[in-house]
Structure 1
């Protein structure tokens, strides 16, 4: 098998010595599968040099794992044969503030000969970012992470998954209320401290709408780093919660019928260091390429839902008039639009960005950023127009008025969204047959698993998967 360059081996040895001096004894090397689950191989710190040189063995079958650990198959992947190598990304190795003695690193995946694995989602995100750069488009992206926190059962045993068992929330304050921060001030302080120590810049941290729900927003970065960051954010929230005797759920629907957890994706476009959201004399400040990029995303949203909303539980969350963005429209500062344009303060040259409201944390973030970039670039290539913006709640307009304005409901089921992804030539070409086929196989398997299930059964079964 091809090994890494000598410089990387030297870098890995120096890194191991540094981590060892800090008391780090193990490194969790993660990748995110097509069901959005963080999978891991851990190595002792002393072995990071070997891992960086020769990789860590893993089976390609993980690309067709479902969220409940069942295994399906695609035309290219499945079964017990084959081997891949996980290479830890050395410049992202991070000592974990809430897990003493541990560090974390994302992985790139290669075959035995050192060729990038065609289903590596992180490589897909990197390729799409490079494609944008070749077109003169720079991108900054960032995620808002929502989660629900509940007490673990007496004795620390497994949390009940019976849909009729109420969750034991550690705070009882109102939505967005200061009471929740008072009740959980130590917990929230430890979250901010852990993320800061790990190099993640926290922009906002606040209570959200549902019982026990919070949201953290972190600083934007290049697309691949943004996806790395949100993985680190989730696992940090999980670890801090455990240290406080709590359990964090990032599931799209924690309790059926309640507002669920989103993971909104923000993006901004730049060319030669200048924001394409701040073009003088352009409508709403959007340069033509920015408008076409957003037009491409909006047009592709039915297919993108199979990427960003990948679970049957996602569609329990996607309900009208709950700020989830269930209609295929965009709006200026409109939190009911699937695509929200944020104009930013007039004196902030970099303040403009767009937000995709529909996505949730069951999504593989590398797939999400890669697919969004692919859709946006397709919009530029084809000159996809951005229709008129929508103000107010599209759900309150009525069927006839929505029809008159050309506002349609986005897919209401994973089956419908997956059908759109299967038919999307632009996303299939960007992802490649191997990755595209694996994602479709996992989505179809998730559909089959929950066929005929009631909403509360779906929510209970997936509550602690993410």
Structure 2
């Protein structure tokens, strides 16, 4: 496992970085992390405090592991203890839509300087390293879907909506480019006021970092245009919600394992086993990738949200969609059932853990579903509520082993806490309580 850099080296690098960004007009640095409820939490330091923060960390209570979406706490949360938030300077970037500010993802450490077992980012890193230990590489990306209030009228995917908010979208593209993010596409989505942006894939931890940076940028640009952006899985009762689909490909020696093989649609045996492992764990993975009571207002048939535990080539109702791409190197898989309430480190780390279990078992994919699964008998639905996902998560030995006892227990406590919090609430009440949290 990657070990933490020595404090002196972190401080030296931070001193250089602080000098550079201060010359660019930065006055403060936001230190960002995501709790087990999927809510982005922050602390911030003056730019001249970055060196000390990198060397010694910034204090933050472990109670954040127990926070529910409404800022109450699940069982186990309390006032005792302290952790250190240490910025990862590799992810430090001035924020184009928040002049005078920079942002960095953080790792959480115990007071003695060792990685904190409950840190979700360390979990994702461990899983990425386990993949690398097998001589494999994962490239991943998380799509961002969001809804803005204001003038978001117009048909789905329509030019009218693009025109109405063209200045807003132009400024978003400018901000993302200034932060050295490569945008692949941006477009109006299905529901009123909804948009989607996709950026270039990267390593697993970097993809989760990028997902946070993209959301931060969207929200900041929206605010500058007098808009409010929501990444919540459900924004209107009975409507299409926001997904956060995870795309990934598996490579060896720089070449994809998703084409050129003897398996279905050119999958190699390793790629098939990896995807079969993901498919096998999907009910439990929902507790990581669809972690809100609102997630299950989105995850219903007919909305292309992937509510069925099946796979298929370009099947947008299947939870696991295989994409061959226009060239062999573009082949990838998309986990469609995840949404914007997910902690991206937990989501990606969980997928990798499940895929590795599939590799260990030399798993084989079940028969492909090449039609709308809603029209076929016997196709399994994924859990239809948060309680069901939490129960599947409780029983997953794969995820329990991968997450470790502390992180698994903390996630389970939050899921069960939120299931109880929203039990008996109407769709409208759930949406009202969650729309502005993500």
Give the TM-score category using the shorter length.
over 0.9
- Look up the match of 1:371: 350
TM-score scaled by structure 1?
Answer: 0.92
- Look up the match of 1:46: 48
- 1:383 lines up with 2:362 in the alignment: yes
- Look up the match of 1:313: 294
- 1:296 lines up with 2:295 in the alignment: no
- 1:283 lines up with 2:264 in the alignment: yes
- 1:440 lines up with 2:412 in the alignment: yes
Q: 1-side partners of 2:45 and 2:400: how far apart?
A: 35
Secondary structure of the 2:152 match is coil
Q: 1:352 to 1:386 in 2, by over 3 A?
A: same
Offset of residue 3 of structure 1:
9.0
Give deviations 1:79-116, integer Å, cap 9, x for gaps.
11111000001111110000000000000011011111
Match of 2:72 among 43, 49, 70: 70
Contact 1:321 1:393 in 2 (8 A): no
Give deviations 1:282-304, integer Å, cap 9, x for gaps.
43111101001000000100000
Match of 2:389 among 411, 417, 425: 417
Q: 1-side partners of 2:194 and 2:248: how far apart?
A: 24
- 1:190 lines up with 2:176 in the alignment: no
Secondary structure of the 2:68 match is coil
Q: 2-side partners of 1:89 and 1:361: how far apart?
A: 23
* Alignment map for 1:29-108 (pairs within 5 Å): 29-74=31-76, 78-108=77-107
Give deviations 1:435-464, integer Å, cap 9, x for gaps.
000000000110111111011111111111
Q: 1-side partners of 2:421 and 2:178: how far apart?
A: 41
- 1:112 lines up with 2:93 in the alignment: no
Contact 2:124 2:346 in 1 (8 A): yes
Contact 2:33 2:106 in 1 (8 A): yes
Secondary structure of the 2:149 match is strand
Secondary structure of the 1:328 match is strand
Contact 2:128 2:138 in 1 (8 A): yes
Contact 2:7 2:54 in 1 (8 A): no
Q: 1-side partners of 2:353 and 2:135: how far apart?
A: 14
Contact 1:139 1:222 in 2 (8 A): yes
Secondary structure of the 2:330 match is coil
What residue ranges of structure 2 are gaps of 5+ in the alignment?
none
Match of 2:341 among 358, 362, 373: 362
Q: 1-side partners of 2:264 and 2:370: how far apart?
A: 16
- 1:461 lines up with 2:429 in the alignment: no
Offset of residue 280 of structure 1:
4.4
Contact 1:124 1:370 in 2 (8 A): yes
- Look up the match of 1:167: none
Offset of residue 17 of structure 1:
0.9
Runs of 4+ in 1 over 6 A off after TM superposition: none
What residue ranges of structure 1 are gaps of 5+ in the alignment?
152-169
- Look up the match of 2:329: 350
Offset of residue 388 of structure 1:
1.3
Q: 2-side partners of 1:306 and 1:267: how far apart?
A: 19
Secondary structure of the 2:316 match is coil
Q: 1-side partners of 2:199 and 2:128: how far apart?
A: 20
Q: 2-side partners of 1:244 and 1:280: how far apart?
A: 49
- Look up the match of 1:130: 129
TM-score scaled by structure 2?
Answer: 0.98
Structure 1, 270-279 or 438-447: larger mean CA deviation: 270-279
Secondary structure of the 2:41 match is strand
Secondary structure of the 2:162 match is helix
Secondary structure of the 1:28 match is strand
Give deviations 1:46-92, integer Å, cap 9, x for gaps.
00000010000010110010111001134xxx211111000001111
Q: 2-side partners of 1:3 and 1:139: how far apart?
A: 24
Match of 2:190 among 198, 201, 209: 209
- Look up the match of 1:154: none
Q: 1:200 to 1:3 in 2, by over 3 A?
A: closer
Contact 1:125 1:223 in 2 (8 A): yes
Secondary structure of the 1:300 match is helix
Structure 1, 382-391 or 366-375: larger mean CA deviation: 382-391
Give deviations 1:185-237, integer Å, cap 9, x for gaps.
00000011101110111101000010100000111000000000000000100
Offset of residue 281 of structure 1:
4.2
Contact 2:262 2:269 in 1 (8 A): no
Contact 1:30 1:105 in 2 (8 A): yes
Contact 1:334 1:341 in 2 (8 A): yes
